[in-house]
Chain A
């Protein structure tokens, strides 16, 4: 895969389609949550789509991905089938984790998607270890680890930065800086608000990117991944972004103003890409309508699949607490 973006029509449409899939998936999740078909915590990705979609475009199947509890977007962009994601949301056996993980713990072995982690910063040490294994077992593979700016307050972040750089691991750190750790503004929680500089303090190659700008985001990811694949050590990207929705479904957003949210919505990455493509004759009205229809159809299909899904038998509750059975099956 090239480190340069080819801004051809098909690729632009693909990126646009991927962002739209995420936006519409999240909207459907809200609907299903309000209908009480989805329960528990639900953290939505609206506004941040360009980051997951841009980074995934730079990755290959051999690469590994780790994300946070706000990871529907990464899972979709990585290619985890929407059907299995929606079934997981509904707690069905056909879900990617049999319905055991739910929204915050999406895993997909086949796509090297190592979760979904509901402990802030919890995925970073795992990413270090996966990159260690890949360096030995799958040379050339890259591990991409997503986390929010809230994670940089955690010791796990600093320990992982140091280990990755010290051991020159093939690891891409993607900090999705949406400016609020739940309700605490960045400037109230960090002495250094230029997050990428923290990586620089570990002598790591680091860059700040406009996470609302799909083409720039993808370009930065491709540069970073090329450098990592070339064996030049880890790279850190700070993607400046904003979540359009509340932190979760139980958030009155008292910590930010309507005006601020509206200002950021003017920079909507999906609208922005569409407007740019239309202005540059890369997307006509028929194509836009066709993509829209495709995405809506995929969502409807995923919901129908999930609703028709089955429930894991409670007799299997203790299955996979220990993995002996799985390993024996694999040997058989």
Chain B
């Protein structure tokens, strides 16, 4: 990293990315609840109303299905909307428009209409927001053909994934983890773009692969530190994109570690971790020297009380324990 590295929060990186998109294309606009006068529930769009005006930073009524569908329609007819849904729990009110329209119209119309739409939403637990504001639903969306699902875990991805999403002709969902908004990172001035097709190696290691995304990435990196002190070299793979999944990078890591722990803040049943495990079983079983292990959220609505919330979500200690069991059974 060069000396001119720029320090920035994840929140600021999201904002700069949106600002870039607005400056780059007059067809781009932001729409959602409290994105304007309030500055965004998580303050991501703070200041953008003053710079771009109410037509391009558009406050909406509390009508997730209505304004998300309007985003789909605007994309169909030539605009490049960025729809913000305050939390992914609210996105369930817009699921009809996301799944039945955005994800189906291109295929159903025989390729006549594209839906170049970006939907950003906050995801995840860890801030004591309780069961209706803390879920991780990105794995659900990754089930749906026609969508792309991005899960930026670093300041760099928060800063540059949006541009790639805006250039993509498909509906792209970006899940920003609420715990990460305050995270600080350094931006390498040499990096001005990222892809939205590949998983990325975040820490090399030889003994076990920790495959993860979102706010579980810093947890896995912390776990790898702890394991290293113990002589266990964990490799950390950041998925970055849940749909389409980059199985090649995962398989590449497994080919030398031969052991894998998948860490996913979603519930274990029917999760993206289940999908990865299934694909490994189908395509890479003989690469593995041990069964796939998963560390996921407990199968409960995320509770408010801190000790209960901690117990519900994947934590560093559990990741360390899982990796140790795999490496030294």
Binding site for B on A (CB under 8 A): 64, 95-101, 105, 107-109, 114-115, 117, 119, 122, 124-134, 136-137, 155-156, 159-160, 162-163, 166, 319-324, 326-327
Contact = CB atoms under 8 A, between A and B. Distances in A.
A130 B60 contact: no
Given A107-B113, A159-B61, A323 B66 contact: no
Given A105-B108, A132-B73, A137-B78, A125 B65 contact: yes
Contact of A125 (B73, B77, B109): B73
Given A129-B75, A324-B169, A98 B69 contact: no
Contacts of B96: 119, 122, 156
Interface in B74-125: 74-79, 81, 96-97, 100-101, 105-115
A162 B170 contact: no
A98 B63 CA distance: 34
B172 to A, nearest CB: 10
Given A125-B97, A320-B110, A322-B170, A156 B146 contact: no
Interface residues on B, range: 35 or more
B73 A156 contact: no
A107 B60 CA distance: 29
Contacts of A99: 110
Contact of A100 (B63, B75, B110, B169): B110
A98 B110 contact: yes
Which of B74, B97, B148 has the most A CB atoms < 10 Å from its CB?
B74
Given A136-B79, A137-B77, A324-B170, A97 B101 contact: no
Contacts of B76: 114, 126, 129-130, 133
A321 B169 CA distance: 11
Interface of B: 27, 55, 60-61, 63, 65-79, 81, 96-97, 100-101, 105-115, 145-146, 148, 168-170
Which of B63, B100, B145 has the most A CB atoms < 10 Å from its CB?
B63
B109 A163 contact: no
A125 B108 contact: no
Contacts of A96: 110
A134 B65 contact: no
A68 B88 CA distance: 29
A326 B66 contact: no
Contact of B101 (A108, A126, A155, A323): A126
A163 B60 contact: yes
Contacts of B108: 97, 100-101, 105, 107, 115
B69 A129 contact: yes
Contacts of B66: 124-125, 128, 155-156, 159-160, 162-163
Given A97-B109, A321-B145, A132 B70 contact: yes
Nearest to B148: A322
B114 to A, nearest CB: 4
Contacts of A131: 73
7 contacts: A119-B100, A125-B70, A126-B101, A129-B69, A156-B69, A163-B70, A323-B115
B70 A107 contact: no
Contact of A122 (B63, B97, B106): B97
B323 to A, nearest CB: 35
A155 B101 CA distance: 16
A97 B110 contact: yes
A96 B110 CA distance: 8
B28 to A, nearest CB: 11
Contact of B100 (A64, A98, A122): A122
Contacts of A132: 70, 73-74, 77, 79
Given A122-B97, A163-B67, 14 more contacts: A109-B109, A115-B108, A119-B100, A122-B101, A124-B66, A125-B65, A129-B73, A131-B73, A133-B78, A155-B63, A162-B63, A323-B106, A323-B169, A327-B169
Contact of B77 (A95, A108, A133, A155): A133
A130 B68 CA distance: 12
- Sorted nearest first, the 10 A-B pairs with minimum C-beta distance are A125-B69, A129-B73, A159-B66, A133-B77, A98-B110, A107-B109, A129-B70, A159-B63, A320-B111, A126-B73
A282 to B, nearest CB: 39
Contact of B170 (A124, A319, A323): A323
